[in-house]
Structure 1
Amino acid sequence: MNVFPSLQLAMPQVDLQEVMDHLRNNTERRTYPLWQQDDCLCFVARGREYRSEFHSNPSFEMQYSLKGLLNLHWRTPDGKEQVSVVPEGHCLYQPPMVPHSPRFGPDAFQLVIERKRRPGEIDKFHWYCTSCDHLLHEEVFIVSDYGSDPVSRAYDNFFNSLDFRTCKKCGTVMPAPGDAKA
């Protein structure tokens, strides 16, 4: 006898190696959403070797290093930058609203699990001057679908603006990825 006749169980099984191969060989995208449910969002991320912003979001994050090394840069409540090293096969739990910048090479992959955003919750992306650590720019997004790749959209907005990349305190210009100086 089925005690819960109306319960429909969706239990996706994913070949993570296949997903990593797809991200490496078949697409320019750097993320692959595995599922998005009300209380759980899960995706595989391929390294963004150029990543420089600090992302704050209202959810916890669990990051598991599938392949390669993750250097998770993060900021303390007083703004000091720290780095947590997450070797392949290890995972890290990150509380909500910690400004963080996951940095890992193009052949490294992370499995990321977090809570899907609730209505009205926002994600923030901050860039800081490499010379004086002054805040350069903030991008704000409401992330209703992680498949829209909000990190890439924030990067496009930031790096396509010389004004956003120029420090108002010391005048240093953050080079865009691919610039000769980068």
Structure 2
Amino acid sequence: MPQIDFQEVMDMLSKTDKRRTYPLWQEDDCLAFIARGREYRSEFHLNPSFEMQYSLKGDLHLHWRDAENKVHISHVPEGSCLYQPPLVPHSPRFGPEAFQLVIERKRRPGEVDRFHWFCPSCDHFLHEETFVVADYGADPVSRAYDRFWSNMDARTCKQCGTVMPDK
């Protein structure tokens, strides 16, 4: 049975700007990882699994969209946790010195994760990135971000012309 020293993982993640997540385990029915600061996030993730997010250090501001696409923000203070059902568009945002423990179900064969970006001016849908998460250690969030930020057409609103500012 794995025994994890959270402080050791947080210290390791604090010493690098390149890596923001550290997978703790990846089993058939459960994966867990620690994430450091998501202050740069602007997209909404649609995850086919549930998620449980525990604020190890610092506060989480979970931006999420309801069935009518209205944005809400749930505040999760340090020491608290939040359960999120599958397929709720969400955008976890927390400072660079904050850490979250995230537990979710490992993806089943054929399940697709989606990232949606919206115009910062008029909230019009901008772009979707999709992918299959086979290994969370490959940091799929960063891969989706790299594709989005390198695509000026995807970052430009077709409704009002605003260009999503670079992260």
How high is the TM-score relative to the length of structure 1?
A: 0.91
Partner Cα separation in structure 1 for residue 54 and residue 32 of structure 2: 11
- Cα shift at 1:123: 0.2
For 1:30, the equivalent position in structure 2 comes to 20
For 1:126, the equivalent position in structure 2 comes to 116
For 2:106, the equivalent position in structure 1 comes to 116
Partner Cα separation in structure 2 for residue 14 and residue 107 of structure 1: 19
For 2:35, the equivalent position in structure 1 comes to 45
Indicate whether 1:171 and 2:155 are aligned.
no
Partner Cα separation in structure 1 for residue 118 and residue 74 of structure 2: 19
Report percent identity of matched pairs: 74
Pair 1:41–1:68, CA change in 2 (3 A): same
Which amino acid is the alignment partner of residue 175 of structure 1? P
Structure 1: which 4+ aligned runs deviate by more than 4 Å? none
Pair 1:136–1:27, CA change in 2 (3 A): closer
Indicate whether 1:80 and 2:55 are aligned.
no
For 1:140, the equivalent position in structure 2 comes to 130
Partner Cα separation in structure 2 for residue 64 and residue 94 of structure 1: 11
Q: Secondary structure at the match of 2:123?
A: coil
RMSD: 0.7
How high is the TM-score relative to the length of structure 2?
A: 0.99
Unmatched 5+ stretches in structure 2: none
Partner Cα separation in structure 2 for residue 141 and residue 57 of structure 1: 11
Unmatched 5+ stretches in structure 1: 1-10, 178-182
- Name which one, 1 or 2, has greater alpha-carbon Rg: 1
Partner Cα separation in structure 2 for residue 170 and residue 89 of structure 1: 41
Which amino acid is the alignment partner of residue 68 of structure 2? D
Q: Secondary structure at the match of 1:29?
A: coil
For 2:86, the equivalent position in structure 1 comes to 96
Indicate whether 1:159 and 2:159 are aligned.
no
